[in-house]
A and B are shown apart, each in its own frame.
Chain A
Amino acid sequence: MSSILSVQNLQASINGQQVVEDVTFDVPAQGITALLGRNGVGKTSSIKAILGLIHRDAGTVSLEGQDITSLATHRIVQRGVGYVPEDREVFAGLSVAENLRLSERDENPRRELVESLFPDLVKRAQQPAGTLSGGQQQMVSLARALMNQNRVLLVDEPTKGLAPKIVGEVAEALAEAARTVPILLVEQNLAVVRQLAAGAIVLSDGHVVHTTDSAAEFLADEELVTRYLGVGTATETSTETSAQTSTQTSTQTTAEGAHP
């Protein structure tokens, strides 16, 4: 499958501290690809480095074959890289409607799509976003990214800290969004990953150690999951197993990953 976003030998640092050591991966042009790894391996930092939100020391980022490495963050986003940050980061003092209006950059923003996906936000349009619940704030954050016709979405831990019912709603919204735009998803909830993700990229110690076209197949491999994610497959509550059966999947574990 062709890739929409290509990351080559990306290195990044925060205040001189290297947080992304040497990351290379491609995001397929369709569906949801999970970016997995233990806490602190550089998943969020990789996404921020792609967007230029943290300092990139080396490497290239290409969007549909076009090098976007040297562009400022707002230019990268204007090219069609949507972003849903960890911890939502809604503008608390602005109303829901203002948060959404601020995100509109296309001539014809997709208000109808957003309103159909998140009808609750329409009712709360004038409410300050800071007074919403965590789940509602996540809806605002997702809605902001879906308001424009992006080429790829970078979604960082969208279910973090949410109640199980809200996790389901967020997952549904992501599945719906994935019909129109490829998504790179950082997610710790493996049940959600199993439900949504087609492929997976696994990070460890600042490097990509495993890539696969089948996230479900990877998650079914207890040894790999334990080694790279630090959890046993038996410990999870699997709610969806639709992607359990893989067909024509390919997996690749790097030499470094195979011999940690």
Chain B
Amino acid sequence: MSTIVLLLITGLGLGAVYFLVASGLSLIYGLMGVLNFAHGAFLTLGALIGWETARLVGADSWGGFALSLLVGCLVGALLAAATEFILIRPLYERHIEQVLVTVGLNLAAIALFEGVWGTDPVFIQGPTWMGMTTEILGAHISNDLFITIPLAGLVLLGLVLFLKKTRYGMIIRAGVENRSMVTALGIDVRRAFTLVFTIGGAVAGLGGVLASHFFGYVSPMLGGSLLIFAFIVTVIGGLGSLAGAAVAAVVVGVLQQFANFYWGVGDFVVVILLAVVLLTRPSGLMGRKVATA
């Protein structure tokens, strides 16, 4: 029983990290049709600068941790906004070139990060409490999960409220359905593009800091390894669907934990799940169905 509880909660934590990466990816693709391979770079830079900030302030202090979250968020947002403005916007509607430029940026960013921080993982620490465990039904749960999971939940809630209650949220939801019709109503959809990129980057930066505490290290490759699973989550959830990303992130995270623990094939099972979803529901669990004539 304790093992199942442990796997469930750590799976939920992993799902929370996946969601923080996948939510931005999903919104960006849904609104702009851009497969953003540079998203991992937003996460990595957020994690690295977040860690440097925590170190400066005091890595074992709550203030340092909170500041690292804030700085990670800000760094991710700034890099994402700059990416959209400088690289993506001039390539509007040229999707192949957009993919190529984000792949190139990701490779360049990793090389730059390795140049600055080295190739080895940097093992990090947070407030003492986060390094301890709490017993739940016999399972010893790492305390950092009690921060990661609720924070991911708050991000989900915040994004849902933003999308439902604000005019820009409404524009983004409409743009995900039909971008050209939004412009035909006199709305400059490019502002929404920048906003979505910025929000996605901010959430990825936050996810980077939380992921580094979840895994216990930060490295220039952190974003790249998470990005693969984030893409899988995005596709399984349905491109453009925030709720789909949340559900798929939890399913993938929990399934991966169980499969890894019992059979050591977590990654393989996730890929099989992706194949099954693509074959049975090509538009994903909560994606829009492909229109038929």
Contacts and interface: CB of A to CB of B under 8 A. Distances in A.
A51 interface: yes
A127 to B, nearest CB: 16
A144 B180 contact: no
A132 to B, nearest CB: 15
Looking at chain B's contact residues, the main secondary structure is helix
A216 B35 CA distance: 52
A92 B181 CA distance: 12
**A: contact size bracket:** 20 to 34
Interface in B150-200: 167, 170-171, 173-174, 177-178, 180-189
A186 to B, nearest CB: 15
B171 A73 contact: no
A105 B170 contact: no
A15 to B, nearest CB: 11
Most buried by B among A78, A91, A101: A91
B178 A77 contact: no
Contacts of A148: 186
Nearest to A92: B177
Contacts of B173: 91, 93-94
Nearest to A147: B185
B174 A77 contact: no
A83 B177 contact: no
A211 to B, nearest CB: 26
B262 to A, nearest CB: 39
A89 B178 contact: yes
Contacts of B181: 85, 89, 91
A89 B182 CA distance: 10
A105 B186 contact: yes
B183 A93 contact: no
Contact of B183 (A72, A94, A98, A101): A72
A91 B184 contact: no
A179 interface: no
Contact of A94 (B170, B184, B187, B188): B170
A19 to B, nearest CB: 15
B5 to A, nearest CB: 37
Given A53-B180, A89-B178, A91-B178, A77 B170 contact: no
Nearest to A91: B174
A16 B187 CA distance: 27
Contacts of B177: 91-94
Contacts of A74: 183-189
A79 to B, nearest CB: 9
A102 B188 contact: no
Nearest to A76: B186
B169 to A, nearest CB: 10
Contacts of A78: 186
Interface in A130-182: 144, 148
A103 interface: yes
Given A92-B177, A93-B177, A77 B184 contact: yes
B183 A144 contact: no
A117 B281 CA distance: 41
Contact of B185 (A72, A92, A93, A102): A102
Contacts of B178: 89, 91
A26 B188 CA distance: 28
Most buried by B among A73, A78, A89, A144: A73
Contact of A144 (B185, B188, B189): B185
Interface string A84-101: 010001011110001001
B183 to A, nearest CB: 4
Contacts of A91: 173-174, 177-178, 181
A78 B189 CA distance: 13
Contacts of B170: 94, 98, 101-102
30 contacts: A53-B180, A53-B184, A72-B183, A72-B188, A73-B180, A73-B184, A74-B186, A74-B188, A77-B183, A77-B184, A77-B185, A77-B186, A85-B181, A89-B178, A91-B177, A91-B178, A91-B181, A92-B177, A94-B174, A94-B177, A98-B174, A101-B170, A102-B167, A102-B170, A102-B187, A103-B185, A103-B186, A105-B185, A105-B186, A148-B186
